Structure 1
């Protein structure tokens, strides 16, 4: 039995009138009558008795009507369920973040997102900038937040986000902590604690000391921002670190920001994704939240 014919029959039976049914279904009454006749011919049974101008369901029609009511109730329930599923933000998102973004920016945003959309599972991969860029290129991640100045392939969509102040930090006990701004020449004998030389943080450090016209003088090379902060707090050297990564330590007095006259540095972030990647509704919502909170 054709579902279309059953829908027409169900409407006529519900309204008890060809005229009302044709108006509701936006079909002419003669065309409706022809299609009801085709349904009856296909079944080999009459479904209505005509009394005057009225159509009355006969016994066959009553049996079929009992079923069509159930059929179209189930159709409506299925439609409602699928609509709800389309409107409900759920599913799995796999995102990435370079060391600073992944450790200090994304967790807070993910927490806010999960409060709004608890049915979404989020997997966060943290790596260095080049690893994250490669995972995006290979279509492993839905999207990522990457720090630093990176040359991406044409396959990667790049959306600029905010620039984080790059701050020079020291131990509160450091001899370089002064009540006034430092001059570049005050830093000539300074030793630095830096990230690995294949990282964007190292490149940011190099750019800063070049602007200060300082010779490179590295006391320690460490593989994580947390380790760098611990070494600085122990007064083993100074470091350039994005503000987002040291905000808590500065607020609590565990580290001190040194300001250099007429000098400011920034560390940029970008939202990146593979242009060929399918973006699910959940992923799109999270990307929107990232852009709202980290937008330029």
Structure 2
């Protein structure tokens, strides 16, 4: 592994030379020398410096992006070699879209830690678009996303589960007591939806198109939990996954509205980089995901 790249990436992520030196168990002058040597090698200044912090310039952003990829490939190579003779171990970087990441993934990670304590998971939660891009850019080993991925030439997608999505209202909303809800009523409601790029937002837009209406009032929130709290408070109605609403249905704070054309069914997929090599850590994680999806 190129020590210059490791020192550079650590310095950027720690924010200054002194914290990087502490993290790397080096002296501060040694860190500075490594950075200067790397700048001479690439022929450009990479960091804007002052006494308190360092900041990437344009050249630094390019080098940082590729350095992260190179270091990730080195770690992956080492893990693959270790896998030839050892049990599943090492770091596993996992990404998941919000619905799966917040409501299903924690249970899988608990199983993973119990069964394979030598695996060190590192979790990133984001919307579907962001997770797919991080996997495609080799910043994540594996991702779990909803909706359609846009990087098929760079990643492999494997559908593993279907998710049912329903229209949810507060427990005291009139829709909770109706045997059916017509389109005119739906159109006049305030709909609370996720941000663009979210698989949940994509499903809501698909439902609006299928039922041929657009909400008169639309609120966009960046958190499923915030949406649930807002619906409970009577601010509006929403389309959400059954995975995200089990607790609220049990407590009786949310109700499912009987809307023709629902539930909306969407797929969840495991996405990995487009190559045939997988560490044992990735293999056991994939198997745990499949097992969990069989009874979710």
TM-score interval w.r.t. the shorter chain? Answer: 0.5 to 0.7
Between the aligned partners of 1:185 and 1:130, the Cα distance in structure 2 is: 32
Per-residue deviation, 1:84: 11
CA root-mean-square deviation: 2.3
Q: TM-score, normalised by structure 2?
A: 0.67
Between the aligned partners of 1:83 and 1:227, the Cα distance in structure 2 is: 43
**Paired position in structure 1 for 2:148:** 149
Per-residue deviation, 1:147: 1.1
**Paired position in structure 1 for 2:92:** 93
Q: Aligned ranges for residues 101-180 of structure 1 at < 5 Å?
A: 101-180=100-179
Q: TM-score, normalised by structure 1?
A: 0.67
Superimposed CA distance per residue, residues 185-222 of structure 1 (whole angstroms, 9 cap, x where no aligned partner): 44232210111133222221111122222222334211
Between the aligned partners of 2:227 and 2:189, the Cα distance in structure 1 is: 16
| Runs of 5+ unmatched residues, structure 2 | 1-80
Q: Are 1:155 and 1:275, in contact at CA under 8 Å, matched by a contact in 2? A: yes
Per-residue deviation, 1:277: 7.2
Q: Are 1:133 and 1:152, in contact at CA under 8 Å, matched by a contact in 2? A: yes
SS of residue matched to 1:118: coil
Given the alignment of the two structures, is residue 229 of structure 1 paired with residue 228 of structure 2, yes or no? yes
Per-residue deviation, 1:235: 0.6
Superimposed CA distance per residue, residues 73-111 of structure 1 (whole angstroms, 9 cap, x where no aligned partner): xxxxxxxxx999935322111110011111112111111
**Paired position in structure 2 for 1:213:** 212
Per-residue deviation, 1:287: 1.1
* Segment drifting more, 236-245 vs 213-222: 213-222
Between the aligned partners of 1:204 and 1:112, the Cα distance in structure 2 is: 30
SS of residue matched to 2:188: coil
**Paired position in structure 2 for 1:264:** 263
Q: Are 1:194 and 1:218, in contact at CA under 8 Å, matched by a contact in 2? A: no
Q: Are 1:219 and 1:236, in contact at CA under 8 Å, matched by a contact in 2? A: no
SS of residue matched to 1:196: coil
Number of residues of Structure 1 aligned to a counterpart in Structure 2: 215
Between the aligned partners of 1:173 and 1:125, the Cα distance in structure 2 is: 36
Regions of 4+ moved over 6 Å: 82-85
Which structure has the bigger radius of gyration? 1
Per-residue deviation, 1:179: 4.7
Quick one: structure 1 residues 263 and 167, their matched pair in 2 at CA, closer, same or farther if it must change by over 3 Å? Answer: closer
